[in-house]
Structures are given as C-alpha cells and as structure tokens.
Structure 1
Amino acid sequence: MNKTDRLLAIVLELQSREVVRGEDLAALFETSVRTIYRDIQALSEAGVPIIGAPGTGYSLMKGYFLPPVSFTVEEAVTLLIGTDFIEQRFDEEYRVRSQAVRKKVEAVLSENVRREASRLRKALRLLAPGKQVALSKEREYFEKIRQALLDERKIRFHYSKKMGDSGGNPHSDRTVAPYGLVLVEGAWMLVGYCDLRQDIRHFRLSRMTELIALEERFKLPADFNLREYTPKDDRDLRVRLLFNPDLADKVKESGYPYMEDMEEHPDGLHVVLRIRQQDEVLRWVLGWGAGVTVLEPAAFRDRIREEALKILKRY
C-alpha cells in the first residue's frame, strides 16, 4: 500500500471507530508506529482535524466526515448489485431508498468507471423469486415486522406449519416479541420469543396470515445477539439413502439442506440426511422415484413402501 492509499485508509478507519491507537494502526497497515506518527502529522497539516491523546489514541473531531474519493469498477458493481437485491427482497420503503442509493453511486462515478460498471453489471443478473403473490405478502409482513422491531412492540399472527405440533395441530395463533429477520435459502424468517412456547422460535413469513402489531411492548434481552445466535440443533434422526449413479450429479447440485454427508461408491451415491422427523424429507425422497433406495432406518423404508402402494392404487 502506497502512502496516499494508506492516508485515506487511516481517515476511513478513524471515521469508523471512536478512538484508535497508533500501535493498532501500525499492525493493521503492516508498518511501523513511527510511520503512523508521520502519517497522522501529514493528515493534520492537510487540514484533517485529528485529536490525539497520550496513552489513549487518535480520534476525529466530532462532525468531520470524508466521503469516499472514488470507487473501482468492482466496488461500484458490488454496491449496484446490492441495490438490486434490496429492491427484490425488502419492503417498499427500502426499495425506494435503494433506488436513491443507486442514483447517488452512479452520480459520483467517473465516466470510465460508470461505463465499465454498466458493462459488467449487464453480464450479471439476479433472478427474482417466483410466486409473486406470495412474495408481495412477504414484503408486506417484512415491513410490519421491521417497524415492530424498531418500536419494540409484540406482534400477533396466525401460523401454519408443514407438520402439526405435539398436539397434532398444524395451525395456531402466536404472539411473538420479534428479535430479528433472517434470509434463509431465499425465504425470510422471523426469530423471536414466542409467548405460547415460552422460548425463542423461528417463523417463515410466507406461512403467516392476519399479522398485526400490538400495543404491548418488549425489551430485547441484553445477552441476545442475532449475528451470534445459533438455533438449537435437535435433528437427531439419521436417514441413509442410496442413489443410482446417474443421479449423483443432480443430487449434489440440489443443495438439499438436510444432507449431512455423501460419498460416491461403485453402487451409487450414499447420502446421509439428519432430520427431526420423517415427514420433513418424505416428499423429497419420493420425488426421486425408483432412483433412490432407503437403506435405513427400517421404519422410514416401510413408510416409503406404504406411500408407493398408495400411489399405485391411484393409478
């Protein structure tokens, strides 16, 4: 990194943190502390208001902001594709904001970078998910939940699960304190504290109906961090499958989330699924027809046989 690039990087680093020690800057930019001292002096002489406190570190005077000087083609494309993604998957307010961001980014690009970024961006495409009606409802609920998160208000909705709960009922009304929204395999999930279950639960927005924000407030637990949160893994049932060799590539490309392990053998592709209950993977396994054999457990093999006989009776 040359001196000019390092000076700009030091300012950006100071902008992002309240106080930075000279030793930390030296380690970050792989140079000596003495060089950092000279860089700080050069920035001060150039008019950058840097405050230095002995034994504490450096900080920028409050209110000072240095906008980025320029973007590379790759950086510009990254930002512009990001706005495309937000337009597709976020609510209306953020879609409008993403359009404004795109105009601002394009306005500060040099003509050469703007031309090259446009050429590269035309070679990349984000396909919008199908089922536009369902996606429209998901966006509507995303906006309501996002606002409830900001206002720290609980929400109530009717929820439909793929499989029934312990009482056999796949439908229930839930009151939830929303902790965060997570995009999982193209679908938005709500992570929140469920009053019914008295624990943190996950809910797909696409399975919600009749969602409303309540007046009842909540406080996010001080020890909860969405970025560090890891859901409890209770998938303790393993299913071993054998796929015909001609299906191996398709199975690998499927990216099925329940696959834990796979190995190729002369007789075909051996796959291990880890699940909570058989119904989670029943339709997926049946979808491969005669190209897959359930090796174990025996109970799941019997279940597949029963379903196959039901299908045979229909035809």
Structure 2
Amino acid sequence: MNKSDRMLAVVLELQRRDVVKAEDLANLFETSVRTIYRDIQALSEAGVPIVGTPGTGYSLMEGYFLPPISFTVEEAVTLLIGTDFIEQRFDHDYRVKAQAARSKIEAILPENVRNETARVSKSMRLLPSDKRIAPTKETEHLGTIRKAILDQRKISFHYTKRHADSNGQRHSARTVAPYGLALVQGSWMLVAHCDLRQSIRHFRLSRMTELIDSEDRFELPSHFNLREYAPPDDRNLQVRLRFNDDIADKVKESNYHYMESMTEQPDGLHAILRVRRQEELLSWVLGWGADVTVLEPESLRNRIREEAENMLKRY
C-alpha cells in the first residue's frame, strides 16, 4: 500500500471508529508507529480535523465526514458480487436491500468503470446449491431471528436433532436468547443461550419448527463477541477410512466438514475424521458403497457390516 492509499485508509478507519490508537493503525496497515505519526501530521496539515489525546488515541472532530470516493473496477465487482451473495443467502428484507444497494453502486460509477465492471461481472457467476433454489425453512426463519437478535428478545421453537439423545429423544421445545447467526457449510446456524440447557448451544435453522418471537427480553453478555467466539471442540472419536483411487478426487471435492486430513497411499486415499459419535458419519460412509473401507474404529466397521446385511435382507 502506497502512502496516498494508506492515508486515505487511515481517515476511513478514523471515520469508522470513535477512537483508535496509533499502535492499532500500525498493526492494521503493517507499518511502523512512526509512519502513522507522520501520516496523521500530513493529514492534519491537509485540513483533516484529527484530534489526538495522549494515552487514548486519535479521533475525527465531530461532524467531519469524508465525501464519497470512487471505486476501482475490482472494488466495484467485489461489492456487486457481495449483493448477489446477500440475495441468495439472506431473508426477503435483505434481498430487497441488496437489490437497492446494487442499483445505487451502479448509478454512482463513472461510465468507463461501470462498463468495465459489467464486462468483468459477466465472466463470474455465484451459483446457489440445488437446495437453495426454492425457499427453505432457513430463509423463512432468518428474518424473524435476525430481528430478535437486534431487539434482544428471546425466541421459542421446536427443534429436531439429527440423532437421538441418550434417552432416545430427537424432538424438544426450546426457548433461547439468540446471540448471533453464522453461515456454516452452506447452512445457517443460530448461536444462542438455551434456557433448557443453561449454556450456549447451536441450532440449525432448517431443523426448527413453530418458531415464535417472545416478548421476553435478554441482555447480551458484555464479554460475548460472535467474531471471536469459538465453540468447544468435543469431537473425540477418530475415524480412519481408505478410499479407492477411482473416487479419490470426488472425496477431496466433497469438502466434508468432519475431515481432518487426507493422504495418498499406494493402496488408496487415506482419510482421518473426527466426530462426536459414529452415527454422525454413518450415512456419508455408506454413500461411498464398496469404494470405502473403515480401518478404525472396529465398532464402526461392525456397524457398517450390520447396515450392509440389513440392506441385503431388503433386496
């Protein structure tokens, strides 16, 4: 980043945040604190009203706002692709906002940039997966949950687990304080504090039914930050599989979320997966048919054998 670009970025960062330290700016732009001091001085001499408080940091004088700036072709394409993503993955309200944002972005672009952006955009396309073509439970619930998060109101719903618990139950009624939403492996996940379990839990929107917005309020814990939140990893069961060479490429392309590592060996593709329990990947392993061999654990080998025998009895 050259000096002019960095100085502009400094102003944008000051405009975005109330107060920022020189050390933080130096880390952000990968330069020295002394360089940031020189940039601040140059900006002040150019008329940008920057206020510096020793021990606190820098801020822009209240009321100052950087006038609109132009976009490069690459920046414009990035923003337009972002609106495509919002249209495909978010609820109706945000789809409408994304369409409006695209129109505004295209309207303010200079003609030469707009033409070049259109040419570049034609060479790229963001395709949804098959299950996203039609409206799903996820998009139906997304708007309600998003508003509940912003208004800090609890929600209630019936939830269906993928696997039964120790009591053989898969269905339960939940009331939760919604903390945030995350798009994981193409599916929306709610991170929330569950009243039933009295701890943070994760819920797939596609497994929710009878969702209602409660009048009960909650207060988001001051220490919780969704961007920094990392759920505890309790996948303690290691599974080793061997795939025939004929399907090795398909396995690699599957991007299976339980996959830990893959190595090519003379006898095929060896893969290591970690799960909470073997039922989580039983269907996935069976889907590869005779082209996969379970190396360990023995309990999963036996389970696969039992399923194969049951299938044989049906045919």
When normalised by structure 1's length, the TM-score is 0.91
Q: Per-residue deviation at 1:140? A: 2.0
1:305 is matched with: 305
Cα distance 1:100–1:239, how it changes in 2: closer, same or farther (>3 A)? Answer: same
Cα distance 1:248–1:136, how it changes in 2: closer, same or farther (>3 A)? Answer: closer
Q: Per-residue deviation at 1:133? A: 8.1
Distance 1:127 1:100 in 2: 21
Distance 1:171 1:161 in 2: 6
8 Å contact from structure 1 (residues 159, 173) kept in 2: yes
1:117 is matched with: 117
Q: Does 1:238 align with 2:241?
A: no
Q: Where in structure 2 are the equivalents of 1:1-315 lying within 5 Å?
A: 4-20=4-20, 28=29, 32=35, 35-36=38-39, 38-44=41-47, 48-52=48-52, 58-131=58-131, 135-315=135-315
Distance 1:140 1:300 in 2: 37
Cα distance 1:138–1:6, how it changes in 2: closer, same or farther (>3 A)? Answer: closer
Cα distance 1:166–1:133, how it changes in 2: closer, same or farther (>3 A)? Answer: farther
Distance 2:80 2:5 in 1: 24
8 Å contact from structure 2 (residues 258, 273) kept in 1: yes
Query: What's the CA shift string for 1:197-246, capped at 9, x where partnerless?
Result: 12111110011010001111111112211111111111111111111122
Q: Percent identity?
A: 65
* Counterpart code for 1:147: K
* Counterpart code for 2:162: K
Distance 2:199 2:41 in 1: 55
8 Å contact from structure 2 (residues 136, 206) kept in 1: no
CA RMSD of aligned residues (A): 2.3
Distance 1:185 1:298 in 2: 29
* Counterpart code for 1:128: P
Distance 1:133 1:5 in 2: 41
When normalised by structure 2's length, the TM-score is 0.91
Q: Per-residue deviation at 1:163? A: 0.6
Cα distance 1:280–1:110, how it changes in 2: closer, same or farther (>3 A)? Answer: same
Distance 2:2 2:262 in 1: 48
Gaps of 5+ in 2: none
Distance 2:178 2:36 in 1: 46
Cα distance 1:21–1:293, how it changes in 2: closer, same or farther (>3 A)? Answer: closer
* Counterpart code for 2:75: E
| More displaced 10-residue stretch of structure 1: 243-252 or 173-182 | 243-252
8 Å contact from structure 2 (residues 7, 39) kept in 1: no
Q: Per-residue deviation at 1:267? A: 0.9
Residue 242 of structure 1 aligns to a residue in which SS? strand
Residue 131 of structure 1 aligns to a residue in which SS? helix
Residue 190 of structure 1 aligns to a residue in which SS? strand
Query: What's the CA shift string for 1:137-163, capped at 9, x where partnerless?
Result: 311211111111112111110111111
Gaps of 5+ in 1: none
